Amino acid sequence: MINSDVLADIDLKNVLSFHKEKKSCLTLVVRKDSQPEKYKPIELANDGRITRFVDASIKNPPTTTQRVMFTGIQIMEPEIFSRIPSEKFFGTAEDVFPKMIEEGLPVFGTLHEKYWIDMGTRETYIQAQADALNGKLALKTSPSRNPEGPLVIPPVLIGKDCEISQDAQIGPHAVLGDGCRIRSGTVVENSILWDGATIGSDATVQNSIIGKEVVVENGAKVMDNSLSSTS
């Protein structure tokens, strides 16, 4: 199971092999993070067993474990689902997993050291696209169209049937979905445009997400923002 807002360069076959080798009922993919206070830390023993979920305010973890964070990637045995009550919100990381550790069940963590990002915010969603464009992460996407024009600044990914004015600046780090229309004098930089978006003449879009079929008016400046058809 992988959280829907996570991108990772990971071989799940290796995780499954680890899970079976340890005879684990729950295996969490974990990683070290330079800012552990952003996440609820986990203590990982030298043999890979998870000893506890700890409060982020605890400053000094035991010396026999290392402090890691949960990536949102996990392998669970089916009996775990019997621990989740029906018709009630019940968080696995908050309610189920810590209880399993308290009961002494075999709960293990395997350390992930390759690419990983949580795309749960606008900033990290845009960062993930930039990382893919820079080759840090390989994604299965349609090949980019390569429109002519001196103001297309790579890396960019441009969908099919886009209309792009010759004097519009596209990039760097711009992703255009299918059927986007980019008018004269426009700047689109470090941003993602979903299918059918239209950016009016002399408009600027930077560090932003423009939703499906959204129209940005002529001369508008959209910076550090997200626009949808219901905005």
Domain-located, residue 227: yes
Please indicate, yes or no, whether residues 210 and 145 belong to a single structural domain of this protein.
yes
Which amino acid is residue 116, in one-letter code? W
Domain-located, residue 26: yes
Higher pLDDT, 79 or 145: 79
Residue 155, preceding peptide bond in cis (omega within 30° of 0): yes
The mean predicted confidence, pLDDT, of the chain is 89
200: which 2 tokens? 């009016």
Q: Quick one: pLDDT at residue 147?
A: 63
Least-confidence region, from 13-17, 39-43, 109-113, 174-178 = 39-43
Domain-located, residue 99: yes
Highest mean pLDDT among 28-32, 78-82, 94-98: 28-32
Q: Quick one: pLDDT at residue 39?
A: 75
The total of structural domains in the chain comes to 2
Domain-located, residue 1: no
Q: Quick one: pLDDT at residue 55?
A: 63
Please indicate, yes or no, whether residues 129 and 68 belong to a single structural domain of this protein.
no
Please indicate, yes or no, whether residues 106 and 167 belong to a single structural domain of this protein.
no
Least-confidence region, from 59-68, 107-116, 134-143, 149-158 = 59-68
Look at residues 80, 96, 118 and tell me which one is the last residue of a structural domain: 118
Look at residues 68, 103, 118 and tell me which one is the last residue of a structural domain: 118
CATH number of domain containing 50: 3.90.550.10
Please indicate, yes or no, whether residues 218 and 229 belong to a single structural domain of this protein.
yes
Least-confidence region, from 32-36, 52-56, 103-107, 171-175 = 52-56
86: which 2 tokens? 């029906």
Q: How confident is the model at residue 36 (pLDDT cuts 50, 70, 90)?
A: low
Please indicate, yes or no, whether residues 15 and 103 belong to a single structural domain of this protein.
yes
Q: Quick one: pLDDT at residue 62?
A: 54
Look at residues 88, 118, 148 and tell me which one is the last residue of a structural domain: 118
60-78 pLDDT, tens digit per residue, is: 555 567 889 999 999 999 9
Domain-located, residue 149: yes
Domain-located, residue 50: yes
Structural domain range at position 130: 119-231
- Chain-centroid distance of CA 229 in Å reads 23
Please indicate, yes or no, whether residues 150 and 86 belong to a single structural domain of this protein.
no
Q: Quick one: pLDDT at residue 172?
A: 95
Please indicate, yes or no, whether residues 177 and 105 belong to a single structural domain of this protein.
no
